[in-house]
Structure 1
């Protein structure tokens, strides 16, 4: 069974950024490598969507934690951690779906009984805490252009694949650099093009990143869409477009946007394909 193209923007924090209970969960899983974690996440997703009774919510089991090894300022590989927070994220996804779909289709995908049961399983205090500090954002059938602002060509890149092709591409950078890049781009757009939706997106992303430890690492995980676009120059094109707007070069800005649109419109068209 195939999955939709889903990409992720994740924040990995150092161990001491988590409370004692979260640290125990992390320490119990830190020996599992990234490939095994992704396989576990996919298999659990498949198990949920193939239940005999329609219910996409997680019922039990510990939350999955991803581990990212990234060089510390001293140059030593240091582990950083990103909890999956699946219970909260699935609840938010179901709420978002309820605004875009109407019954009876919504009832078939997320029955009322399943939603009620999910609410009963959630601890209100834990839910509120996770909601205020959600480590993962996801996007289906394409990557928001605002995410590319956070990264540069010389950031760390990991190409994951086998003999059959590319499975995903992951970019990673220190959160302090990502915040600076987003702030600079937002300030530039506020002067040059205050009406662009990208300005609002960057403002919101910056506020989100500021809730985490400044020793964190931000990762953009392309997911399966990587094999359709990699090698990808989207971070360069987004930055070039913003710089052209600041300089008043509308021709250059239009050319950068055209390159982006040409690259990603074919992905978004897949979402509407039969």
Structure 2
């Protein structure tokens, strides 16, 4: 199963994710049985990633022109709570894909678990809306026919009515990681380096949400004073507002995805932190140096999106 996952990523756009895992009691009561069932099954993280990739590839080739998820099933990622007797998942580095495909997570007692539902129906709707904002006329109809968008809106309405959904637990980015995401993490945070066939498949970094919020609020406060016109300030402000929606006992995960093989070991969290500290101290030379390090690392990745 892991082989399908890692071979299947070849040739696809680099995709990274920022996820929030919440305790069971933070979810609407009607969602909890399904989440508990997912936590009780000894399903590895690699199996979840493989299932999501296979489903997405299947939608691309689905007959009838409907590219949207149906919502019949929703995958759930699970982490042990950091204050439980079990360490935060992945604190050991350098694991292989085969090791991540072992059971593991399902062996943790349910009360000590944190959950991140994929919410593919909602996220697909948001992504389609964002795409359509910049595309109109025949091209929009060609990419996503109006009848398919209307059909998917019915699914979204059904999901919201059934689950009382008010927040989306996952943010995704293709061809690189937004610099604002790195403000949530530090070099000392637990991380997991997953390898397969001599290359890095992904790197995952975790932080308690209270720590992540403290860091991004510090960044917002200093940027607002030192560089109020910086685009990153708006990104960090939106990120703060999003994280404030979640339970204070949650955990934030940065999942590099396949781009990790191009950039890891990665000093981006340190460069963002140092850049903001330099701005706060009026050290423009230090801030510029930190940005140059970020740009030299990530601009080549983003340029791949336009490569033929």
Change in Cα spacing, 1:60 to 1:188, as seen in structure 2 (3 Å) is closer
Change in Cα spacing, 1:65 to 1:125, as seen in structure 2 (3 Å) is closer
Alignment match of 1:239 (pick from 248, 261, 273): 273
Deviations 1:183-240 (A, max 9, x none): 1111111121122111121111111111100000000011111111111000000011
Q: What corresponds to 1:45 in structure 2?
A: 56
Q: Is the 8 A contact 2:15 2:174 kept in 1?
A: yes
Q: What corresponds to 2:78 in structure 1?
A: 67
Change in Cα spacing, 1:158 to 1:70, as seen in structure 2 (3 Å) is farther
Normalised to the residue count of structure 1, the TM-score between the two structures is 0.94
TM-fit CA distance, 1:46 = 0.6
What does 1:27-176 align with in structure 2 at a 5 Å threshold?
27-30=36-39, 31=41, 32-72=43-83, 78-123=112-157, 126=160, 129-130=164-165, 132-176=166-210
Q: Which runs of 4+ in 1 moved over 6 A?
A: none
TM-fit CA distance, 1:60 = 4.2
SS state at 2:123 partner: helix
Q: What corresponds to 2:24 in structure 1?
A: 15
Deviations 1:87-142 (A, max 9, x none): 01001111111112234332222111211111223336716943x31100111111
SS state at 2:52 partner: helix
SS state at 2:254 partner: strand
Q: Is the 8 A contact 2:66 2:148 kept in 1?
A: yes
Q: Is the 8 A contact 2:17 2:254 kept in 1?
A: yes
Q: Bigger shift: 244-253 or 63-72?
A: 63-72
Q: Bigger shift: 135-144 or 158-167?
A: 158-167
Which 5+ residue runs of structure 1 have no aligned equivalent?
A: none
Q: Is the 8 A contact 1:240 1:256 kept in 2?
A: yes
State the aligned residue count. Answer: 273
Q: Is the 8 A contact 1:54 1:108 kept in 2?
A: no
TM-fit CA distance, 1:81 = 0.5
Q: Is the 8 A contact 2:28 2:164 kept in 1?
A: no
SS state at 2:172 partner: strand
**C-alpha separation in 2, matches of 1:76 and 1:3:** 33
TM-fit CA distance, 1:4 = 1.2
**C-alpha separation in 2, matches of 1:87 and 1:119:** 9
Q: Is the 8 A contact 2:71 2:155 kept in 1?
A: no
Q: Is the 8 A contact 1:178 1:218 kept in 2?
A: yes
**C-alpha separation in 1, matches of 2:86 and 2:65:** 48
**C-alpha separation in 2, matches of 1:188 and 1:140:** 28
Task: Output the aligned Cα RMSD.
Answer: 1.8
Normalised to the residue count of structure 2, the TM-score between the two structures is 0.84
